[in-house]
Structure 1
């Protein structure tokens, strides 16, 4: 079954996918090669091609992260529920109502 001639022209302009290419076509993910394959099946890394990221000095940086640097673990009591579990449906509804939820 062949696509219509109009569709054939549109397909030629689109990017090649792995389903349209030869059986061994691998599109990749644009990362690039960091070295070369050896004839013995190994891989030799070329350190001129390896990406390096330089981080500036952030000791005097004024912005803070989204999460605090030190977080205390929460110890909530579930003694008033029948199952004593935080996953209990009644406990979920109670917490929801405390947060301003309406039923």
Structure 2
């Protein structure tokens, strides 16, 4: 089944995806390279291309996380929940209400 000639013109103007391209077409995910390939199959990193992030000083940062500070970190033992599962939504809501959350 082929699209109509008018639709074929519109499809030609759209961005190429992996299903429309040749069998070895790889679109990528819009990240730049960090180096180059060698002719022997290796990869050389160009350290001028590697991204470095400057982290600001956060010692006087006043925002707090969304999770209440009184909630203790969960351990591997989930026997205290009703179902005994780690991903139990009812247990999360119950704990949230205990800590002062309103619904």
* Both structures adopt the same fold (TM-score exceeding 0.5): yes
Q: Which runs of 5+ in 2 are unaligned?
A: 85-89, 98-103
Across the two proteins, how many residue pairs are aligned to each other?
Answer: 86
Task: Tell me what 1:45 maps to.
Answer: 45
TM-score (norm 1): 0.67
Q: Which has the higher contact order (CA 8 A, sep 6+)?
A: 2
- Compared CA separation, residues 52 and 77, structure 1 to 2 (3 A): closer
Q: How does 1:1-103 map to 2 (within 5 A)?
A: 1-68=1-68, 71-73=71-73, 86-87=82-83
For 2:37 and 2:17, the matched residues in 1 are separated by: 25
- Compared CA separation, residues 70 and 58, structure 1 to 2 (3 A): farther
SS of the residue corresponding to residue 44 of structure 1 reads strand
SS of the residue corresponding to residue 6 of structure 1 reads helix
TM-score (norm 2): 0.67
Whose Rg is larger? Answer: 1
Supply the RMSD in Å over aligned alpha carbons: 3.1
For 1:77 and 1:26, the matched residues in 2 are separated by: 47
